[in-house]
Structure 1
């Protein structure tokens, strides 16, 4: 007799949604969102069995929602920001905590008279007017100059396959500049981390693609039932070291020498990752300067983040060089190509007229 099921209080995962519809395909499933400070639920969304992204939906009656950027402006469609709530259901504040009340309940200059509750949750507008939840603001990190929402990466990983049940992305490293993104996940069967990384490279900016991937039987949780990110950040990385492939060609040796000098290390394999060897945003600038001076003045820093090994970088430059040669020719090459074309056209005309090419 069950007609509909309403869930709230915790993020609805793809795995739970799929399990629900396998067992109860005829029952409606509604995803709601809301904090205690706004008398609980302020959004609703009717989930579909085919959804690969589960929004928190649109505002309920008498509720206005805003997504605000760090600069205090209203975020356009697709741009992450802090979710803010306005409406008749807002609490007056926190009992005996005026400082916290002033911090969380306030107005924006561009919305005078509109009292907002700043939730601390990150979200973005979707094109259809729904809102996608991206996680807590305290999971937002800054890495090598880029501001990254970890929840956005986690959503992309979960969209890769329905076999992944839970996922968390954390940053690890001894210093701020040596931190790297690490993805931990549990799944119903083995996930190929290489294929997952390739998928993310097509769907995320290069600076948001995790460097390390580790599948665990289950992710650790806190006593409140949330994923324990601190415990994960202390989890030893299961980095698989493949056999070193030493540079052989003159170009490989030249690049390896530059890497060793920039990173101040003794040995480099052409399959070593620049950042795994200790590279950071500052050393990338030094590497870029050396490469533009000695190899190619048109190399971009973005491509040094994208092609992190000597092997992949040379494959990219070789492909780029080949494409350039096919599109641009020197003056003698153009002249030779023109003469060849004229000769072929003369031969075709000669055959049609029954004369030789001298005529």
Structure 2
């Protein structure tokens, strides 16, 4: 039976399939509880919801006897680190330059699950980031790879570039041996992180992670972290791209996961010009669309402010009157980084003096170099949540 399922999985484009059982992750409840208690998940409250089901598969579905963990490669066509030198262009995480993997994987998992159900006369449940399932921990328990010091799954055959899905089934399968940690003394992923989001091996502080900040975080990005974002407008591949195990990664076999050429390094002027309809059209079918125009434009304006190119200030200036305070605030920050003081003061007279949003007023004060009372936007610590404005989701 297993050979039949593996053959079908390869036919569907999966590069690996391993099997574990729900009792093979006994450490997960303690690790998850400790991480959540530290607050390192930031504003991802959904991580706390149904935490018992994340930590114990049988709580999510008492009928599960075996868990099939599957992987699909999305190895990037170019080095993601090379994009960071393109100051006038945006760097989008490699996985997001493609069709939304939820759509691609979910359909293939359902097809494979249906095949397994028919052949084994068993019940199945399919998951791909749509339920409280800890795919990386299960993948390690199944022997698909190991969670590296950056907490991402690493495979000896595919490196860091893996998309994961899981099939819970009532069928009984012999489990595979768990993965073995092969990071050794290497700490490349820890050292390259631009915001120190990996304070120690195997521990991620999402509140400092650029992927979390640019995708999950809804409000203004803490001022002390903006410069370190560089031109990253959606996600961050640094800790993945630097891993030595990537030399073994094979090119993605699934053609629907091929990267779009226009998302490899899009011009910041173009990205800043997108209204809501334009944003939805440009990013249709990709993971970027789910973030929403306001949060994405927040990221783009930070990249413009980090560009060091005064010619890009015009692309920020047009958003000083944007309907979204999240966008207006980051437009102020970008202009403050690129314009001369007298030009900024003129813009403040035109746009800032009538501003009603507290966050945007604080951005103006910081940009103009005036003192701000306690609680100012420039002060931030991981233990204190930053002010949110309720951006589009």
Greater Rg over alpha carbons, structure = 1
Return the structure number with greater helix share.
Answer: 2
Return the structure number with greater strand share.
Answer: 1
Pairwise same-fold verdict (TM > 0.5): no
The higher relative CO (CA closer than 8 Å, separation ≥ 6) is in: 2
